């Protein structure tokens, strides 16, 4: 596989040192990294799954309704952020791989290079304290 | 292709009896193709001597800047081709999202830091953003990519006559990596250096020195070796020597680097050294 853009390598390295769950995708939307905190939320280990295509991760972690119905994967905030090249912030309910429904808050941003080209995107998740 | 080193020091020119062997001039490398095209890689203090040996009849010279730290541009104002009315000098540098190359260079090439402005140079000066897609300059194919170093910084891959070199004088590919190298996809500069005949790479520090300078944008000699071997380059030239390193210290670091190498030939960049790279 070809080398990632330097900006994505740096974002990945930054994410690796953060306690905030973080998800990094490339310009095609393919997953290039989740950090350990995100692994705990999603119920998987990045070392086991490796890089995952856009179609696969948006399906696996598609937004869910409170009743457990899966929403359109294209409405995932990170998918919107890179497709529409705008920041997205809001609540998100997902079903982890270990079948636990989690209610999160997510901020997703497109990452643009110095020439304005889309390099990928980053999403950071927050799990609000239980009421 | 002929590669000649005119300055191999990093950070600050450091002439003196204890650095006379490897030289004290900052980054400057000449690359010539068989058709006579001349590239000057960076414009540290070494570029003054390079400029003095370029035939005044040469109509065009291209200066490829990796970044605009002082040790890479300080020699610009002393580069003879700028003062030849019939000549043309093309200067390439990393793009910035906020300020064009001319404005950034003018911060140095203008009073009070320097008496002559770019607009007052005799040669026709053309400024370009470094090419992220391969371009042709005379007999060379040149491509630039951003690499890990503070501020906008690129490395270059240059090919001609069936040979190729990579030039990454200021580079910290191990920054933030849990283990280094982590493989081609996650290694800054890999695409530039993959399979080249010669990689000129930052090897400023010993491992102990690097420990207290993480994030400054440079590599240890062992990291330079690891990078060169990951890229499957044929030969590594350690470059950007620390100004505090005497010839004796550099001899020791070079021995350390060679001891850690398994596949790559390692030399320390020495002012005046020349490499002739045969075509494939």
Q: Tell me if chain B has a CB within 8 Å of the CB of A47.
A: no
Q: Do B146 and A7 touch (CB under 8 A)?
A: yes
Average pLDDT, chain B: 96
Q: Please, is A36 exposed, middle or buried when counting C-beta atoms within 10 Å of its C-beta (0-12, 13-18, 19+)?
A: middle
Fold of A6-126: Beta-Lactamase (3.30.450)
Backbone angles phi, psi at B157, to 5 degrees: -120, 130
pLDDT-derived band at B62 (thresholds 50, 70, 90) equals very high
Q: Each residue of B192-242: pLDDT tens digit?
A: 999 999 999 999 999 999 999 999 999 999 999 999 999 999 999 999 999
Which pLDDT score, from 0 to 100, does residue A131 have?
Answer: 66
Which pLDDT score, from 0 to 100, does residue A68 have?
Answer: 74
Average pLDDT, chain A: 89
Chain B environment of A36 (Cβ under 8 Å): none
The verdict on domain B2-276 having CATH code 3.60.15.10 is: yes
Chain A environment of B178 (Cβ under 8 Å): 16
Which H or E run contains B91? strand B88-93
Of B148, B185, B191, the CB nearest to A10: B148
Nearest one of B154, B152, B87, B160 to B126, comparing CA atoms? B87
Instruction: Summarize the confidence of residues B19-42 as an average pLDDT.
Output: 97
| ipTM reported for the complex, 2 dp | 0.73
| 3-state SS, residue B264 | coil
The domain spans of chain B are 2-276
Rounded Cα distance between B98 and B77, Å, is 24
**Long-range CB pairs of B24-27, under 8 A, 24+ apart, other chains included:** B24/B243, B24/B271, B25/B49, B25/B75, B25/B271, B26/B71, B26/B72, B26/B74, B26/B75, B27/B66, B27/B71, B27/B72, B27/B169, B27/B239, B27/B240
The domain spans of chain A are 6-126
β-strand partners of B120? none
Kindly state the tokens that stand for B276.
């002739």
Lowest mean pLDDT among A82-86, A113-117, B258-262: A113-117
Please report the DSSP string for A1-68 in residue order. Answer: -PPPPHHHHHHHHHHHT-SS-EEEEETT--EEEE-HHHHHHHT--HHHH-SB-HHHHHHHT-BB-TTS
- Does the structure show a pLDDT above 70 at B255? yes
Which pLDDT score, from 0 to 100, does residue A70 have?
Answer: 80
- Does the structure show a pLDDT above 80 at A83? yes
Tell me the pairing of strands B163-168 and B198-202.
parallel
CB atoms within 10 A of CB A48: 7
Nearest one of B37, B99, B98 to B64, comparing CA atoms? B37
Q: Do B188 and A9 touch (CB under 8 A)?
A: yes
Of A2, A7, A14, the CB nearest to B176: A14
Rounded Cα distance between B71 and B44, Å, is 5
> How far apart, in Å, are the Cα atoms of A89 and each of A24, B143, B180?
16, 38, 35
Strand order in the sheet with A88-95: A31-34, A22-26, A118-126, A101-112, A88-95
């Amino acid at each position: 596989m070809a080398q990632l853009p330097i900006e994505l390598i740096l974002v990945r390295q930054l994410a690796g040192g953060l306690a905030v769950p973080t998800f990094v995708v490339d310009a095609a939307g393919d997953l290039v990294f989740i950090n350990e905190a995100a692994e705990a939320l999603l119920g998987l280990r990045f070392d086991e799954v490796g890089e995952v295509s856009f179609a696969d991760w948006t399906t696996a972690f598609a937004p869910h309704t409170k009743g457990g119905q899966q929403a359109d994967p294209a409405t995932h905030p990170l998918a919107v952020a890179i497709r529409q090249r705008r920041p997205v912030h809001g609540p998100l309910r997902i079903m982890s791989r270990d079948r636990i429904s989690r209610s999160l808050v997510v901020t997703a941003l497109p990452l643009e290079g110095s020439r304005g080209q889309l390099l990928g995107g980053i999403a950071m998740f927050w799990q609000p304290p239980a009421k | 292709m002929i590669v000649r080193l005119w300055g191999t020091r990093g950070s600050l020119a450091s002439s003196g009896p204890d650095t006379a062997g490897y030289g004290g001039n900052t980054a400057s490398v000449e690359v010539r193709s068989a058709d006579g095209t001349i590239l000057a890689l960076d414009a540290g203090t070494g570029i003054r001597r390079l400029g003095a040996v370029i035939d005044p009849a040469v109509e065009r010279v291209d200066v490829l800047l990796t970044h605009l730290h002082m040790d890479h541009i300080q020699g610009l104002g002393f580069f003879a081709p700028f003062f030849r009315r019939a000549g043309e000098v093309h200067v390439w540098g990393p793009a910035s999202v906020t300020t064009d190359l001319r404005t950034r260079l003018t911060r140095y090439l203008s009073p009070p830091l320097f008496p002559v402005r770019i607009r007052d140079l005799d040669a026709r000066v053309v400024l370009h953003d470094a090419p992220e897609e391969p371009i042709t300059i005379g007999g060379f194919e040149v491509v630039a990519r951003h690499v890990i170093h503070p501020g906008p910084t690129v490395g270059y891959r240059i090919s001609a006559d069936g040979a190729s070199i990579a030039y990454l004088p200021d580079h910290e590919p191990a920054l933030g990596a849990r283990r280094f190298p982590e493989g081609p996809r996650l290694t800054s500069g890999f695409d530039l250096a993959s399979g080249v005949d010669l990689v000129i790479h930052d090897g400023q520090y010993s491992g102990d020195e690097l420990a207290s300078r993480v994030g400054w944008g440079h590599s240890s000699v062992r990291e330079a070796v690891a990078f060169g071997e990951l890229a499957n380059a044929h030969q590594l030239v350690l470059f950007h020597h620390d100004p505090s390193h005497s010839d004796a210290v550099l001899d020791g670091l070079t021995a350390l680097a060679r001891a850690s190498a398994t596949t790559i030939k390692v030399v320390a960049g020495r002012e005046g050294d020349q490499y002739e790279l045969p075509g494939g």
